């Protein structure tokens, strides 16, 4: 089935269209990126420079395959330089404070569910407890304290500007996946610091990089992610709506750690090497509801970076990728099911507190009335369709119900996933 091509993923405001039409879009160059980062940071020691290889593969794929708009190239240039500056400043901080890398992250909870299966709600529920540390959006964007008195206010200001910028460029994106400066964010942004994450292929056409990444050992990237989480634990703050100082204003360090990204499904074996006692939380939902929704999100995101969005190409790519995520996570589960706990979306919606208790029990983390109060407070603030309703149809992405049911029959049967009916979120 061919996709419905009536949806315009590149319908941007006039200033964006003018920028894309008039601004230059030079190719990215690894050497220039490295030099610019050093100048901006005022530092020149990256430590182990193993990350230069993945950066080089990514840059080459962007230059030759991604067909970025002028705005897309400008955004990627900034992101890559920002990542390199973060690495420089983090390395400097680790040398000055080696005790950071001795910090115990406590019990590590890893939400490794497919896209659009309730992972954001579950992420926020778990992060409502200040004893469980997840990166807030402003921290994920800028995890290293600024070398000035304007910290963390400066980092928060940058995150607010980034949120406003995304809303302006693509206001419809927030109806699909809100990126709010003061809410828990996916730690895949820390894998971006090593240039080894699915973020690139979820926002750009970079097939060479995506294929290369699937063949790599991601242990160094996850080891660096661990360093970033230790750095967050070292800093005052927590899940407090973006305010430094913790849920109640205290500077008490969190006791445990929370990670979340669909990306993790592909690397659960690696995660268990870096975090041996982690709880792997897998969320499950009717593929009829999730697959087209996710591809819609990818296409809307890709429209920010390029004036050409290959809808069918992304649909085929991510249907394959989702099967890979499922298969690789099941391979690990077959070897050792103990780290896994499964959460069905229907059960999460019907009894969020009950599912939360199951997760705490799995991690042997105390669950009490205060935990329930914090979670219920979060639930009262969660407003569905806050930024509008996400509309899409299977035919928009060349899919049909019979095909999806055939493709995901084993997945549905394995995890006893109920049918929901309808296709809109």
Tell me the pLDDT tens digit for each residue of 305-353.
Answer: 999 999 999 999 999 999 999 999 999 999 999 999 999 999 999 999 9
Say whether pTM exceeds 0.95.
no
> What does the pLDDT read at residue 307?
92
Mean pLDDT of the chain: 90
Measured between alpha carbons, how far apart are the two ends of the chain, in Å?
Answer: 22
Asked if 126 contacts 299 with a C-beta cutoff of 8 angstroms, the reply is: no
pLDDT at 259 over 60: yes
Peptide bond into 20 cis (omega under 30): no
pLDDT at 423 over 90: no
| Mean pLDDT in residue range 161-190 | 81
What is the tens place of the pLDDT at every residue in 369-387? Answer: 999 999 999 999 876 655 5
More confident position, 125 or 4: 125
Asked if 390 contacts 424 with a C-beta cutoff of 8 angstroms, the reply is: yes
For the chain, list the domains and their CATH numbers. Answer: 14-415 (3.40.50.300)
| Residue where the block lists tokens 């979120």 | 425
The strands making up 132-133's β-sheet, listed across from edge to edge, are: 132-133, 256-260, 108-111, 279-284, 340-344
Q: What percent of the chain has pLDDT over 70?
A: 90
């Amino acid at each position: 089935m061919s996709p419905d091509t009536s949806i315009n993923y590149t319908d941007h405001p006039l200033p964006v269209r003018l920028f894309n039409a008039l601004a230059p879009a030079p190719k990215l160059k690894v050497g220039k990126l490295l030099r610019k980062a050093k100048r901006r940071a005022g530092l020149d020691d990256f430590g182990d420079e193993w990350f230069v290889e993945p950066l080089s593969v990514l840059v080459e794929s962007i230059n030759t395959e991604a067909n970025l708009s002028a705005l897309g190239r400008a955004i990627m240039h900034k992101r890559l330089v920002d990542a390199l500056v973060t690495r420089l400043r983090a390395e400097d901080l680790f040398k000055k404070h080696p005790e950071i890398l001795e910090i115990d992250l406590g019990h590590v909870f890893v939400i490794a569910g497919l896209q659009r299966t309730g992972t954001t709600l579950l992420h926020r529920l778990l992060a409502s407890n200040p004893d469980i540390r997840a990166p807030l959006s402003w921290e994920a964007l800028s995890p290293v304290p600024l070398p000035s008195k304007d910290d963390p206010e400066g980092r928060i200001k940058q995150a607010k500007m980034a949120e406003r910028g995304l809303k302006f460029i693509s206001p419809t994106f927030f109806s699909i996946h809100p990126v709010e400066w003061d809410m828990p964010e996916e730690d895949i942004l820390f894998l971006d610091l090593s240039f080894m994450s699915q973020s690139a292929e979820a926002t750009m056409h970079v097939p060479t990089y995506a294929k290369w990444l699937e063949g790599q050992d991601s242990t160094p990237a996850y080891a660096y992610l661990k360093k970033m989480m230790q750095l967050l634990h070292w800093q005052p703050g927590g899940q407090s709506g973006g305010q430094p100082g913790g849920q109640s204003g205290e500077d008490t360090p969190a006791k445990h750690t929370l990670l979340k990204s669909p990306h993790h499904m592909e690397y659960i074996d690696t995660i268990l090497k870096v975090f041996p006692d982690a709880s792997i939380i897998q969320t499950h939902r009717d593929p009829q509801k999730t697959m087209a929704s996710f591809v819609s999100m990818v296409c809307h995101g890709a429209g920010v970076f390029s004036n050409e969005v290959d809808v069918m190409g992304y649909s085929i790519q991510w249907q394959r990728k989702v099967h890979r995520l499922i298969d690789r996570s099941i391979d690990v589960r077959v070897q050792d099911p103990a780290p896994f706990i499964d959460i069905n979306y229907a059960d999460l919606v019907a009894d969020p507190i009950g599912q939360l208790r199951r997760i705490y029990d799995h991690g042997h983390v105390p669950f009490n009335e205060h935990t329930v109060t914090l979670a219920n407070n979060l639930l009262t603030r969660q407003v569905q369709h806050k930024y509008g309703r996400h509309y899409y149809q299977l035919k928009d992405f060349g899919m049909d119900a019979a095909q999806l049911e055939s493709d995901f029959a084993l997945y549905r049967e394995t995890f006893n996933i109920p049918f929901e009916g309808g296709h809109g979120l």
